Structure 1
Amino acid sequence: MSVEEVLVRLVNDLGAFALIALGYRAVFKHFAAAWARSVVLGIMFGMGALWAILNSAEVRPGVFVDARCVMIALAGPFGGPVSTVLAAALASLYRLWLGGAGAYTGTANIIVTAIIGIVSAHALGIERNVLSRRHLAWLGLASSAGFLTIFALPSEIAWPIFKATFIPVLIANALGVLLLGQFLGRERRSLDRQHELEVEAFVDPLTKLPNRRMLERVVAPMIQRTQDGHGALSVLVIDIDHFKQVNDRYGHDAGDVVLQQVAQIVRRNIRSQDAVARFGGEELIVAMPSTEAAAASAMADRIREIIARETGRNLGVTVSIGVAADRGKQATFKRLFKAADEALYFAKQNGRNQIALAAG
């Protein structure tokens, strides 16, 4: 096969890789769990490598030349170690299944490139949105190092193949990683920015807790389950006692620190199925699905005691907590919040640093 034919095959590979790369954003959109994204991205990059092997140029019986390593190299910075291992495993198994004189050297090429991709992603800091053309160009050139495994073949086979195809493969790998890497990098930066905007919209910047808007979203299915007869829903309204005095005496910076500490204590001491949010000012809300009033009151009192012990050492900070629980068709978040807020007012009026359970 001529050098021109090899070049045509390599260019076709890069075109197919571009189509596969278009699915990168869709993976992040449809798979929220990190492990699921890693698996799907590994399959995606692996399928790109498989396509390259299917479309490869057979330069000697059983010896194939293609741009598979572009996909394997990019799996490291844009998919992570799990994706790289999965993509390399898919490509290696297929190459071994094809067999031929170059089966083992071709598989070694894939493995070497996978290691280069993982190491480069870590060493050069090109993971996520820390990208540069220089880094990608370096990775593209480095990904061709695996081609040297061809010298495991007898020299009378390896040398002619190397001299005829190494430069085209080097160019294809360098350009492929550079161009596709820039595209994937833009997609990743866009995704990261979108995530930042979502965080800004739904997370309180001071306490890092969800805000009121996010809490209402999270509580909606809890309310639905409660209305469907799956136990009671309890709500805690937590308010820092004499918070204005803390700000006046020690300054707003100290007040911010106290609010952050209280928020983290509450977060640490609720269950994984519970939801906590900053509702405004120094007020925090906890929603506890499938929880009766007695259990919610016990949890509230435990939180109150921990805050008084851990935060009150230096500033004497305490909290008051209102508790309300409801079940059945009449349960709504508005109704629960109003009842818990009224119970909180009762706790404040009767000395603070205590919990109060809403009537009924």
Structure 2
Amino acid sequence: MFPPPDLNLFNCGLLITDADRRVLYANSFVLNEYGHDADVISVEGLSALFTRSSLILFDSYLYPMLLQEGVCQELQVMVKTADEERVPVLISVKQDTTGTGHHYWALFDATNRSKLYDELIETREKLQDQAESLANLAKRDALTGLLNRRELSEQFAMLLSQANRADRALSVLLIDIDHFKTINDEYGHQRGDTVLREFGGLLQKSCRTGDVAARYGGEEFVVLLPDTGITDAAKRADRIHEKLSGIEVGGLRFSVSIGISEKKAPVATDAENMIKKADEALYLAKNAGRGCTRLADA
């Protein structure tokens, strides 16, 4: 995922480090301005870039501040160049909030600090946008752009908790692309990926505000429908079948099998049970000849 291509356009040093303080990425400004080789920085980490006194300051102040506040702003330290020159820099460091342990660093030449504040504010905002973009990417399936299975689990737990507390309905569509192995075998995996990607887009467009669409794994997809009973969920499934019957997706015509389960108000249930029932209904749809929908038993 690293490096995002636009980071080399910034007129300041940018670093990404991991929980072990290894440098995962240094932009071209760092490499060109301070004369370091990317491989050296990758092996030696922060000690290749910063003076010993700066490293001590990191241990005594910067990292404790990151643990407590999640961010350390405008700390002046010393960078050492490849020629062992000392350059004062102003750094701001932000801790990733998604549990990766990554830290995002911005470095500004502090020999003339009066010119740096506007750049600092602008870069801080861009770094924040970049961090949010990376966090969003971590929630998405790389091929389809839909939510991945991990994020689906979190969204499912949240929606189900809300439905259980408020005695509201919630339905699950478990969707499987029919004969997908044959598509891969006959047309190649690249065409198969195109089918997955375009079907994911079709699925996303069919969602209402509040619905959750995710790639469950392989050629299986899940759609969560809040405030929707199984009868209305079946109508939504019918519309998916209708859309597929009239178009080519990835240059091919194909069908899907859909299994549906529901959480009935006011009966409480859990996500695992709902997926299990939807999977049983999906199995019935496949046995019925595919290209159809089946509903889970109450």
TM-score interval, normalised by the smaller of the two chains: 0.5 to 0.7
1:305-360 CA-to-partner distances (Å, cap 9, x unmatched) read: 21232236942211111011122343211111111111111111110000111111
1:3-14 mapped onto 2 (5 Å cutoff):
none
Q: If the length of structure 2 is used for normalisation, what is the TM-score?
A: 0.60
Q: Does 1:342 pair with 2:221?
A: no
Tell me the secondary structure at the aligned position of residue 210 of structure 1. Answer: coil
- Which residue in 1 is equivalent to 2:11? 132
1:165-195 CA-to-partner distances (Å, cap 9, x unmatched) read: xxxxxxxxxx788301332244234323422
Find 1:302's aligned residue among 225, 239, 248: 239
- Which residue in 1 is equivalent to 2:294? 356
- Please report how far the alpha carbon of residue 197 of structure 1 lies from its aligned counterpart in structure 2 after TM superposition: 2.9
**Distance of aligned partners of 1:228 and 1:182 in 2 relative to their CA distance in 1, 3 Å threshold:** same
Runs of 4+ in 1 over 4 A off after TM superposition: 127-130
The runs of 5 or more residues in structure 1 that have no matched partner are 1-126, 134-174
**Larger-gyration structure (1/2):** 1
1:82-117 CA-to-partner distances (Å, cap 9, x unmatched) read: xxxxxxxxxxxxxxxxxxxxxxxxxxxxxxxxxxxx
More helix by share: 1
- Please report how far the alpha carbon of residue 128 of structure 1 lies from its aligned counterpart in structure 2 after TM superposition: 9.8
- Which residue in 2 is equivalent to 1:157? none
Are the aligned partners of 2:173 and 2:224 in contact in 1 as well (CA < 8 Å)?
yes
More strand by share: 2
Are the aligned partners of 1:261 and 1:311 in contact in 2 as well (CA < 8 Å)?
no
Aligned residues: 193
The runs of 5 or more residues in structure 2 that have no matched partner are 1-5, 13-111
1:108-257 mapped onto 2 (5 Å cutoff):
130-132=9-11, 178-257=115-194
Tell me the secondary structure at the aligned position of residue 228 of structure 1. Answer: helix
Distance 1:340 1:203 in 2: 23
Are the aligned partners of 1:237 and 1:341 in contact in 2 as well (CA < 8 Å)?
yes
RMSD: 2.4
- Which residue in 2 is equivalent to 1:289? 226
Are the aligned partners of 1:340 and 1:358 in contact in 2 as well (CA < 8 Å)?
yes
Q: If the length of structure 1 is used for normalisation, what is the TM-score?
A: 0.50
Are the aligned partners of 2:244 and 2:253 in contact in 1 as well (CA < 8 Å)?
no
- Which residue in 2 is equivalent to 1:270? 207
Are the aligned partners of 1:262 and 1:311 in contact in 2 as well (CA < 8 Å)?
no
Mean alpha-carbon deviation: is it higher for 215-224 or for 334-343? 215-224
Distance 1:177 1:337 in 2: 59
Are the aligned partners of 2:167 and 2:267 in contact in 1 as well (CA < 8 Å)?
no
Are the aligned partners of 1:312 and 1:318 in contact in 2 as well (CA < 8 Å)?
no
Percent identical: 36
